[in-house]
Amino acid sequence: MTPVEATDQASPVLVAAKNGITEMVKKILKNYPVAIMDKDEKNKNIILLAVEFRQVHVYKYMLQNFSTQKSVFGKVDADGNFSTQKSVFGKVDKDGNSALHLAAMLSDSRPWGISGAALKLQWESKWYQYVCSSSSKIHEELFSRSNKNGKKPEELFIEEHASLLKEGSRWLTNISQSCSGLAAIVATVVFASAITVPGGVDQQSGFPVLGTSPVFQLFAISSLVALCFSVTSIVMFFTILTSGYEISDFSWGLPVKLILGLTSLFMSFASILVSFCAGNFFIVENKLKFAVYRIYAVLCFMVTFFAVKYFPLTFFVIKATIKKVPERGEKMRVY
């Protein structure tokens, strides 16, 4: 079997790499190693197609095989050194775009399966950084190589993601303004309730009359926790609003601040609910104690609803921040 040169009809291994069918790629390369040299009409090979269409698993498989089977992906000279000129990782398409150039381009296929411009930019940034880190071990000259339009990968990444950067900055600004306003309201309410001691204080000792009650201690602790978390949330969202919104900030700095802000805001809501229930318990302790439990249950349900509503956002931000390699959000369906 001879390698397929640039033609109008892509070979099966290129179609599999483009669509992320890793099993087919493995099977073809195992039986026909020469298929690694196949190219499509745009002079793109397996590596370039996997990077362009964000096929993470295909690209990771090729990296693993590069480290174990270099002779398959290129030629080894007499001294045993791998020839970078012949490596499939160093190929370029007809426009002079290397793997780094294609990783720097904004994908139109919506591969990450997430909403929100800031999260998309974070995933795109992580994908570009991952391709850069893997390429630095193979082809250091790719970073300084320009395509036919005279664009280097880093310049192309900034240019391609300029509109996404504006949308992500606007999205972060809007959510930070809304959540910081809520946190400020919580802080104001908690501060007012914290200085109001249920049952008053003993005029002789100056200590709270109900200070020995476990419910009073719960009230005092929850009020303090709510105040601390609400202030923390305000600070986190304020740092987001005053950020410079650079592309590099979206991969780590801004997501961490958003996680801390959302988590602190939820914890402040939960704490102020506990504080209110504990303070209100002294009023209805003797008469309406059993009836008021239903009201407490409704309040807990509303806080739970808030948590469920914002949990997917927090989950995606945490997942995107922790992982070094992005994951595609779409799954193949069997018909």
Summarize pLDDT for 57-74 with one digit per residue, the tens.
999 999 887 655 544 444
Longest pairwise C-alpha distance within the chain = 98
What's residue 284's pLDDT? 67
CA distance 333 to 322: 27
134: left (phi over 0), alpha (psi -120 to 50) or beta: alpha
Percent of the chain at pLDDT above 70?
Answer: 77
CA distance 260 to 240: 11
Please indicate, yes or no, whether residues 101 and 208 belong to a single structural domain of this protein.
no
Please indicate, yes or no, whether residues 201 and 265 belong to a single structural domain of this protein.
yes
Domain assignment of residue 311, given as a range: 164-322
Check: CB of residue 57 under 8 Å from CB of residue 20: yes
Q: Which residue stretches of 138-161 are H helix?
A: 153-160
Three-class SS state of 206: coil
Three-class SS state of 82: strand
Of 76, 167, 74, 80, residue with least CA distance to 120 = 167
Domain boundary among 125, 160, 195: 160
Crossing angle of the two packed helices 214-241 and 162-194, in degrees rounded to 10: 150
Per the structure, how many domains does the chain have?
Answer: 2
Task: Note whether residue 331 is domain-resident.
Answer: no
What's residue 334's pLDDT? 29
CA distance 309 to 147: 45
pLDDT band at 83 (very low <50, low <70, confident <90, very high): very low
Task: Note whether residue 35 is domain-resident.
Answer: yes
Task: Note whether residue 175 is domain-resident.
Answer: yes
Of 51, 50, 1, residue with least CA distance to 21 = 50
Check: CB of residue 64 under 8 Å from CB of residue 137: no
Task: Note whether residue 116 is domain-resident.
Answer: yes
Mean pLDDT of the chain: 80
Cβ-in-10-Å burial (0-12, 13-18, 19+) of 48 comes to: buried
Q: Is the pLDDT of residue 325 over 60?
A: yes
Residues in a beta bridge with 201: 208
pTM to 2 decimals? 0.79
Task: Note whether residue 3 is domain-resident.
Answer: no
Please indicate, yes or no, whether residues 170 and 316 belong to a single structural domain of this protein.
yes
Please indicate, yes or no, whether residues 172 and 138 belong to a single structural domain of this protein.
no
Tell me the pLDDT tens digit for each residue of 4-29. Answer: 554 446 789 999 999 999 999 999 99
Q: How many Å from the N-terminal Cα to the C-terminal Cα in the chain? A: 32
Check: CB of residue 113 under 8 Å from CB of residue 329: yes
The CATH number for 68's domain is: 1.25.40.20
pLDDT band at 322 (very low <50, low <70, confident <90, very high): confident
Domain boundary among 126, 160, 194: 160
Domain boundary among 137, 160, 183: 160
Please indicate, yes or no, whether residues 16 and 90 belong to a single structural domain of this protein.
yes
Please indicate, yes or no, whether residues 193 and 294 belong to a single structural domain of this protein.
yes
Task: Note whether residue 139 is domain-resident.
Answer: yes
Of 50, 133, 31, residue with least CA distance to 88 = 50
What's residue 46's pLDDT? 93
What's residue 72's pLDDT? 46
Task: Note whether residue 215 is domain-resident.
Answer: yes
Q: Is the pLDDT of residue 335 over 80?
A: no
What mean pLDDT do residues 283-291 have?
63
Please indicate, yes or no, whether residues 98 and 207 belong to a single structural domain of this protein.
no
Please indicate, yes or no, whether residues 154 and 201 belong to a single structural domain of this protein.
no
CA distances from 167 to 4, 29, 157, 174 (A): 42, 41, 16, 11
Please indicate, yes or no, whether residues 124 and 190 belong to a single structural domain of this protein.
no
Please indicate, yes or no, whether residues 261 and 290 belong to a single structural domain of this protein.
yes
Of 129, 105, 117, residue with least CA distance to 164 = 117
Please indicate, yes or no, whether residues 97 and 168 belong to a single structural domain of this protein.
no
Three-class SS state of 21: coil
User: Of 245 and 289, which is predicted with more confidence?
Assistant: 245
Place of tokens 């306003």: 181
Check: CB of residue 4 under 8 Å from CB of residue 11: yes
Tell me the pLDDT tens digit for each residue of 224-280. Answer: 899 999 999 999 999 999 988 988 899 889 999 999 999 999 899 888 888 887 777
CA distance 153 to 236: 33
Please indicate, yes or no, whether residues 127 and 197 belong to a single structural domain of this protein.
no
What mean pLDDT do residues 81-107 have?
79
Check: CB of residue 102 under 8 Å from CB of residue 52: yes
Task: Note whether residue 4 is domain-resident.
Answer: no
